[in-house]
């Protein structure tokens, strides 16, 4: 079947906020100029609207017609209908329309926990024994030092599995933790009462921080106490097969200390220090330990300012060969800026300002695991009241951020799906769905600066994109929506003999690069997605993709358009 024949009416499968924007995209050709909203149960027409003129997509051969029903503001369950075509899936209009997605995307992290059993009362049918204990991890030859020679054993338990694989990578944990901690800092009151039914839900710490804490405890073990340097990853030598976690008992290693890992660690621990201060009673000493860890990581980075993680080079010299994910970043300007910004925001110590100032003029870039500069900007803006001495710089950052966000709005009308995502075919690469979510975070930050509603409206368009208003018709969040990712490249979801994948996880999304070599029925930038588990280049899940989804879904819930 041609893509244009499948599921012709593309909507946010979950639904829309009562007073918020609402739109469907109809894949053309359509034999009608009208569209209808019907009540789900009685099929009564409750709204009739006109389709806009046909548009040619820039990111595929699809043509679309836009159906706006924002003015329909009555809570309930509905379908979108066009005579002669199957109805859309049913969706809901209500005040807290995205609550389930907000909670489930955060709960997704619980299912990634490495070293503890997932009990049925929290994990439901996805309960499983603990995965890797990681209490006896070897120092890899590439990481050997006199005090920790090759084969020396350290304990590095806890943390989240990075993705569909069973390894733990500091660089990718860095942006993930920064994003979740920022969500908490930006929407503190909201998160203070949000519960996700995890083992720590009854304590006095908000669940988003309980979840973060589980990974923070792991990150802290990745620092060499002798010099402050941070290992790049805790990993098998080669990827496990598609089995449940902890079944294979292969050796685990920590591999080479590097500048990107160490600075990302410094940033996260500096941010964690100021956030966990408030919870000193519940988590005694954690905040202080984080600051010490951050400062000694910073010292290591000063002495080792440009140690890139280059797996090919490492494998030429050291054994065993390491073939798991590389996250090999060679550019450190953004990590320097982020770490310096977090340390400045937490300590107000001038020494960090010099580095902030050195990088503050850099052109803004959409965040990714290899570019974390924006996280530094977010923090400077968020903490501006505590950083009065730097108000000129921060005012400059604010202006830049607003201009950057404005650049996202203009192309929306020219995008056949009328979302910010897809404003350029470049949006579609490995993990493209995280681009959509990170674009929304930028827009939400522009809203935080200006309170101009247009930023939220456009930010919401990308959540629509992720939940089905896109060229594939899929909701990319497992367990969410009438047609969602069922076969992610995610070892537990493949191996657990349960039909439904583990819920709340965001698939990577369309990626015309298709580096997994699987057979893709559609290959254009916005359609290059296939819901089969070998397709890791478009259908894996990953913590750094889930985190911005957590941020945006919860931000909208916190702000729930009135």
Q: In the annotation, is 490 catalytic?
A: no
Asked if 488 is part of the footprint of ligand 9MR (rule: CB under 6 A), the reply reads: no
Residue 86: Cβ-neighbour burial (10 angstroms; 0-12, 13-18, 19+): exposed
Q: In the annotation, is 489 catalytic?
A: yes
Asked if 162 is part of the footprint of ligand 9MR (rule: CB under 6 A), the reply reads: yes
The neighbour count for residue 32, using CB atoms within 10 Å, is: 15
Asked if 334 is part of the footprint of ligand 9MR (rule: CB under 6 A), the reply reads: no
Asked if 507 is part of the footprint of ligand 9MR (rule: CB under 6 A), the reply reads: no
CB of 232 to ligand 9MR, least distance (A): 12
For residue 20 the two structure tokens come to: 């918020």
In Å, what is the CA distance from 353 to each residue of 56, 112, 134, 390?
A: 48, 36, 38, 9
Beta-bridge partner residues of 227:
none
Asked if 326 is part of the footprint of ligand 9MR (rule: CB under 6 A), the reply reads: yes
Per CB under 6 A, the segment of 64-72, 162-170, 202-210, 315-323 that binds ligand 9MR is: 162-170
**Gap between the terminal Cα atoms of the chain:** 41
Site string for ligand 9MR, 85-124 (x = CB under 6 A): ----------------------------------------
DSSP string covering 425-493, please?
A: GGG-STTHHHHHHHHHHHHHHHHHHH--HHHHHHHHHHHHHHTT-SSS--B-BTT-SSSB--S-B-HHH
For residue 380 the two structure tokens come to: 């400077």
Asked if 516 is part of the footprint of ligand 9MR (rule: CB under 6 A), the reply reads: no
Comparison of 101 and 175: residue with beta carbon closer to ligand 9MR: 175
- Cα separation of 154 and 163, whole Å? 23
Q: In the annotation, is 349 catalytic?
A: no
CB of 431 to ligand 9MR, least distance (A): 5
Q: Residues in contact with ligand 9MR, total (CB under 6 A)?
A: 11
Per CB under 6 A, the segment of 102-110, 278-286, 310-318, 320-328 that binds ligand 9MR is: 320-328
CB of 326 to ligand 9MR, least distance (A): 6
Asked if 258 is part of the footprint of ligand 9MR (rule: CB under 6 A), the reply reads: no
- Cα separation of 198 and 289, whole Å? 25
Per CB under 6 A, the segment of 136-144, 159-167, 455-463, 553-561 that binds ligand 9MR is: 159-167
DSSP string covering 110-155, please?
A: HHTBSSS-B-HHHHGGG-B------SSEEEPGGG--SSS-TT-EE-
Comparison of 91 and 161: residue with beta carbon closer to ligand 9MR: 161
- Which is it for the CA torsion 552, 556, 557, 558, positive or negative? positive
Which position among 165, 335, 427, 516 is part of the footprint of ligand 9MR (CB under 6 A)?
165
Comparison of 194 and 549: residue with beta carbon closer to ligand 9MR: 549
CB of 164 to ligand 9MR, least distance (A): 6
The 3-state DSSP class for residue 23 equals: strand
CB of 238 to ligand 9MR, least distance (A): 12
- Residues shown for the chain: 562
The neighbour count for residue 427, using CB atoms within 10 Å, is: 24
- Cα separation of 362 and 355, whole Å? 12
The neighbour count for residue 151, using CB atoms within 10 Å, is: 12
Asked if 170 is part of the footprint of ligand 9MR (rule: CB under 6 A), the reply reads: no
Instruction: Determine which one of 162, 165, 200, 211 is catalytic.
Output: 165
For residue 404 the two structure tokens come to: 């950057």
Can you give the C-alpha Rg of the chain in angstroms? 23
Comparison of 326 and 409: residue with beta carbon closer to ligand 9MR: 326
Comparison of 165 and 334: residue with beta carbon closer to ligand 9MR: 165
Q: In the annotation, is 540 catalytic?
A: yes
Question: Which residues, numbered 538-557, are part of the site for ligand 9MR (CB under 6 A)?
Answer: 540, 542
Cβ-closest residue to ligand 9MR?
Answer: 325
Comparison of 168 and 418: residue with beta carbon closer to ligand 9MR: 168
CB of 451 to ligand 9MR, least distance (A): 34
Site string for ligand 9MR, 409-438 (x = CB under 6 A): ---------------------xx-------
Which position among 163, 198, 270, 471 is part of the footprint of ligand 9MR (CB under 6 A)?
163
Dihedrals phi, psi of 45, to nearest 5 degrees: -75, 125
DSSP string covering 145-203, please?
A: -SSS-TT-EE-----B--BSSS-EEHHHHHHHHHHHHHHHHHTHHHHHT-----TTTTS
Strands 137-139 and 91-94: unpaired
Asked if 390 is part of the footprint of ligand 9MR (rule: CB under 6 A), the reply reads: no
Asked if 134 is part of the footprint of ligand 9MR (rule: CB under 6 A), the reply reads: no
Asked if 9 is part of the footprint of ligand 9MR (rule: CB under 6 A), the reply reads: no
Asked if 533 is part of the footprint of ligand 9MR (rule: CB under 6 A), the reply reads: no
- DSSP single-letter state for residue 418: -
Per CB under 6 A, the segment of 81-89, 144-152, 321-329, 410-418 that binds ligand 9MR is: 321-329
- Cα separation of 8 and 1, whole Å? 12
Question: Which residues, numbered 278-317, are part of the site for ligand 9MR (CB under 6 A)?
Answer: none
- Cα separation of 406 and 463, whole Å? 18
Which position among 17, 353, 536, 556 is part of the footprint of ligand 9MR (CB under 6 A)?
536
CB of 332 to ligand 9MR, least distance (A): 17
Angle between helices 543-559 and 99-111 (to 10 degrees): 150
Which position among 325, 376, 468, 512 is part of the footprint of ligand 9MR (CB under 6 A)?
325
Instruction: Determine which one of 342, 489, 490, 557 is catalytic.
Output: 489
Question: Would you name the residues annotated as active-site residues?
Answer: 165, 489, 531, 540
Given the rule CB under 6 A, which residues bind ligand 9MR?
162-163, 165, 325-327, 430-431, 536, 540, 542
């Amino acid at each position: 079947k041609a893509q244009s024949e499948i599921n012709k009416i593309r909507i946010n499968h979950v639904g829309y906020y009562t007073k918020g924007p609402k739109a469907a995209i109809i894949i053309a050709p359509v034999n009608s100029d009208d569209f209808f909203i019907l009540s789900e149960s009685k099929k009564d027409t409750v709204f009739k609207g006109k389709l806009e003129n046909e548009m040619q997509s820039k990111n595929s051969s699809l043509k679309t017609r836009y159906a706006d029903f924002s003015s329909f503001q009555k809570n309930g369950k509905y379908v979108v209908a066009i005579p002669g075509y199957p109805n859309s899936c049913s969706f809901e209009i209500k005040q807290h329309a995205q609550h389930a997605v907000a909670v489930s995307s955060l709960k997704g992290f619980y299912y990634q926990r490495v070293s503890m059993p997932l009990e049925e009362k929290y994990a439901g049918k996805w309960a499983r024994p603990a995965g890797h204990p990681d209490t006896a991890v070897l120092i890899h030859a590439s990481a050997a030092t006199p005090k920790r020679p090759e084969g020396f054993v350290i304990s590095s338990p806890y943390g989240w599995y990075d993705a569909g694989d069973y390894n733990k990578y500091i660089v990718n944990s860095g942006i993930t933790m920064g994003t979740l901690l920022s969500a908490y800092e930006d929407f503190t009151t909201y998160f203070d009462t949000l519960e996700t039914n995890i083992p720590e839900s009854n304590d006095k710490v908000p669940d988003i921080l309980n979840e973060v804490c589980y990974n923070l405890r792991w990150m802290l073990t990745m620092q060499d106490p002798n010099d402050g340097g941070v290992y790049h990853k805790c990993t098998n030598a080669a990827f496990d097969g598609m089995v449940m976690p902890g079944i294979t008992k292969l050796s685990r290693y920590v591999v080479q200390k590097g500048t990107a890992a160490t600075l990302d660690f410094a940033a996260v621990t500096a941010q964690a220090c100021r956030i966990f201060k408030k919870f000193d009673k519940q988590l005694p000493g954690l905040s202080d330990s984080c600051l010490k860890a951050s400062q000694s990581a910073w010292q290591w980075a000063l002495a080792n300012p440009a140690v890139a993680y280059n797996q090919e080079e490492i494998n030429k010299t050291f054994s065993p060969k390491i073939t798991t994910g590389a996250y090999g970043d060679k550019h450190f300007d953004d990590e320097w800026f982020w770490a310096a910004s977090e340390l400045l925001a937490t300590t107000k110590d001038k020494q960090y300002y010099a580095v902030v100032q050195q990088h503050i003029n850099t052109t803004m870039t959409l965040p990714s695991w290899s570019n974390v500069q924006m996280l530094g900007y977010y923090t400077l803006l968020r903490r501006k009241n505590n950083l009065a001495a730097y108000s000129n710089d921060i005012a400059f950052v604010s202006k830049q951020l607003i201009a950057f966000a404005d650049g996202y709005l203009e192309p929306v009308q020219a995008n056949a799906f009328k979302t910010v995502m897809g404003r350029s075919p470049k949006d579609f690469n490995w993990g493209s769905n995280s681009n959509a979510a990170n674009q929304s975070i930028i827009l939400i930050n522009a809203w935080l600066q200006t309170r101009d509603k247009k930023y939220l409206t456009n930010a919401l368009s990308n959540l629509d994109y992720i939940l089905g208003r896109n060229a594939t018709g899929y909701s990319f969040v497992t367990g969410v929506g009438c047609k969602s990712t069922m076969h992610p490249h995610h070892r537990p979801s493949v191996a657990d003999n349960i039909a439904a994948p583990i819920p709340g996880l965001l698939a990577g999304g369309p990626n015309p690069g298709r580096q997994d070599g699987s057979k893709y029925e559609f290959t254009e930038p916005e359609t290059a997605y296939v819901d089969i588990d070998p397709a890791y280049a478009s259908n894996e899940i990953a913590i750094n993709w889930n985190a911005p989804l957590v941020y945006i879904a919860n931000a909208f819930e916190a702000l729930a358009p009135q």
